[in-house]
Amino acid sequence: MSYLNAVYQKFPLFFLLAHLAAGLGYCLYIAWFTTTLGGDTLEHIHSSWLVYAEFVPYKDFFQHHNPLLWYLFAPFVGLHAYGLDDNVITSSVVTAAILASFLTYYYLYLTASRFLTGKRGGVIAAAIAFTPYVLVSVVNFRPDNFMVAAFFAGLYYYFGYLQEKKLWSLSLSMLLFWASFMFLQKIIFTLVLLAAVTLYLLCRSRILWRDMLYALLLPFGLSLLFAVWLWHHDILSVWYQSNFTFNLYIPELFAGRRVGEFWTELRLLLAGAGLALVFCWRGANLYFKILAVLFVAELCQRLFYFSAFAYYFYQLLYLAALLSAVFLEEKIFKRCFALIYVLLAALAFCMYEPAVYNGNIGSRAGRFYEPLNKKILRYITPCDYVLNGDGTLYNLYNRDPHYYWNLLGQLDVIGAEVGIRPLMDINRVILTYKPKIISAAPYRSKYASERGIDIYVHRPDMELVSKYYKHFDNSDVLYILKPEYSRLKCDFDYKQRRYRAYD
């Protein structure tokens, strides 16, 4: 009996570790051997390329995120100019996003094992946070992965300061919170709440005022430098409009589904977190209570504001995983039916999302973008302008003929309404820049269509299109510039980091 009990005590830990290891291996398989060129991956590779080419975000091209991701990856994406294969670039940046996500799981493990339960509880927290629906988002190159990783790493060192009162730990946490914001501005809601918690702890002398002032020096200095950079490029107001005013309009693009589905795994984790709040609150430590406050606030935000896609639930899911781990470790895994729970969870994992095991996740994420981009890359040079289509994106390393370049008919409509830049005259753009690839289909306003109104934002003049273009690859809407209007040669100016076209 004691032998069986010993086996039972070890098995859940082994299973959960294997679960994480298999998940990491599968994510890397997706990154390198399947289609991973989703829309967000395209967007941020292209933004990184533009930054490498010394274009300034918000000034030279539209973006509505903070810029840290593009500046970090610009040197690597810029290797495309030196001949690095675009498949290697895509797989590498997706791998970086995957590793950032698994870094988050590592800090979930550290947080739970050091501040909440024990090592087994830490493994539980990390493992149950990795679910099939999250996997769909993990294998995309987007700032959310890095924002969340920086935040939970910062939270771990924040708790470390509360435990040991070491200044370096508090300073590192503040720097990581700053980095989290610079990856993506939407973390600001969580940071404001954490600031309120911090103020309470300062008043209760759990955090020393002197230490906090020292810890804020570096983030404050970096923020000041960022503000000076924005002021130097005369984009301070545009940055604010793009990152805050503009993004308040984004939920209106998804009026029909402002809150995404609470899939099975998240419901289980929310139930686990709720049970933890009920049965583990009494006698809980400060760290548990801070996590509980963050969890409740995040749940309210997801329920009543906007969360149309899986990656909007990252923070909620990970906070729920930490709280659920406490409940599972203290109330469940010491009971005889714990093994049954684990096995049922494993079965649900395997059956709920078959794409995890048959390799279709990558194909599903990029089934449109990948073939289209591969075809287009064979016909264009980096000197060519490329005009993206109606709500679609296929320009990776080429110049954009207008300030708005991504999700035309969506983002440009909001940007014009906010007052960032007016809408382009598509026919003037075609006549002036003669993009190598265009979409001649009318561009509908998604912003209006969500309200039952059919409005065409851009209508290409088909006589103009017929004069300069011919159908591309038997497509009904895509056109390629006729050879007689194309530049013949294209060289890269390594000093200016620009491609130069000449006849």
Q: Write out 431-500 in H/E/C secondary structure.
A: HHHCCCEEECCCEECHHHHCCCCCCEEECCCHHHHHHHEEECCCCCCEEEECHHHCCCEEEEECCCCEEE
Model confidence at 188, in pLDDT bands (50, 70, 90)?
A: very high
CA distances from 383 to 86, 255, 492, 501 (A): 16, 39, 9, 6
Say yes or no to pLDDT of 362 above 60.
no
* Helices of type H across 359-450: 360-366, 369-377, 411-418, 426-433, 446-449
Task: Say how far apart CA 297 and CA 299 lie, in whole Å.
Answer: 5
Q: Which of 330, 362, 394 is the last residue of a domain?
A: 362
Q: Are residues 264 and 380 in the same domain?
A: no
Q: Are residues 41 and 171 in the same domain?
A: yes
Residue 37: DSSP 8-state: -
Say yes or no to pLDDT of 171 above 90.
yes
Per-residue model confidence (pLDDT) at position 359 = 39
pLDDT in tens, 14-55: 767 777 788 888 888 888 887 667 788 889 999 999 999 999
Say yes or no to pLDDT of 448 above 80.
no
Residue 160: DSSP 8-state: H
CA distances from 241 to 137, 258, 414, 467 (A): 27, 22, 11, 39
Q: Are residues 248 and 166 in the same domain?
A: yes
Q: Which of 313, 330, 362 is the last residue of a domain?
A: 362
Per-residue model confidence (pLDDT) at position 255 = 64
* Helices of type H across 204-285: 209-232, 236-240, 246-249, 264-279
β-partners of residue 490 are 501
Say yes or no to pLDDT of 116 above 90.
yes
In the numeric block, the tokens 């289909």 are attached to 441
Q: Are residues 323 and 435 in the same domain?
A: no
CB 157 within 8 A of CB 170: yes
| Tokens describing residue 439 | 């979409």
Say yes or no to pLDDT of 249 above 50.
yes
CB 294 within 8 A of CB 319: yes
pLDDT in tens, 268-305: 888 889 999 998 888 889 999 999 999 999 998 888 77
CB 310 within 8 A of CB 365: no
Q: How many domains does the chain have?
A: 2
Q: Are residues 350 and 437 in the same domain?
A: no
Say yes or no to pLDDT of 3 above 70.
no
Instruction: Determine which of 331-345, 361-375, 411-425 has the lowest per-residue pLDDT on average.
Output: 361-375
Q: Are residues 378 and 347 in the same domain?
A: no
Q: Are residues 189 and 261 in the same domain?
A: yes
Question: Whole-number mean pLDDT of the chain?
Answer: 84
CB 443 within 8 A of CB 390: yes
Residue 409: DSSP 8-state: T
In the numeric block, the tokens 């693009």 are attached to 253
Q: Are residues 242 and 164 in the same domain?
A: yes
Q: Are residues 331 and 372 in the same domain?
A: no
Q: Which of 308, 334, 362 is the last residue of a domain?
A: 362
CA distances from 112 to 13, 83, 126, 319, 428 (A): 14, 45, 9, 11, 58
Q: Are residues 306 and 324 in the same domain?
A: yes
Provide, rounded to the nearest whole percent, the portion of the chain with pLDDT above 90. 48
| Tokens describing residue 364 | 């599903």
β-partners of residue 438 are 479
Note down the domain range covering 74. 2-362
Task: Say how far apart CA 160 and CA 23 lie, in whole Å.
Answer: 28
Per-residue model confidence (pLDDT) at position 153 = 98
Per-residue model confidence (pLDDT) at position 488 = 64
pLDDT in tens, 227-245: 999 999 999 999 999 999 9
Phi, psi at residue 318, to the nearest 5°?
-70, -35
Q: Are residues 247 and 144 in the same domain?
A: yes
Task: Say how far apart CA 435 and CA 462 lie, in whole Å.
Answer: 15
SS3 331: helix
Q: Are residues 400 and 304 in the same domain?
A: no
pLDDT in tens, 417-430: 999 999 999 999 99
Model confidence at 360, in pLDDT bands (50, 70, 90)?
A: very low
> Residue 30's closest CA among 39, 38, 40?
38
Instruction: Determine which of 207-216, 282-291, 376-385 has the lowest per-residue pLDDT on average.
Output: 376-385
pLDDT in tens, 453-475: 788 888 999 999 999 999 988 78
Provide, rounded to the nearest whole percent, the portion of the chain with pLDDT above 70. 84
Instruction: Determine which of 46-55, 91-100, 336-345 has the lowest per-residue pLDDT on average.
Output: 336-345
Per-residue model confidence (pLDDT) at position 465 = 93
Q: What distance lies between CA 86 and its chain's CA centroid?
A: 21
Say yes or no to pLDDT of 1 above 50.
no
Question: What is the pairing mode between strands 489-493 and 498-502?
Answer: antiparallel
β-partners of residue 439 are 478
Model confidence at 250, in pLDDT bands (50, 70, 90)?
A: confident
What is the average pLDDT across 363-368? 40
Say yes or no to pLDDT of 405 above 80.
yes
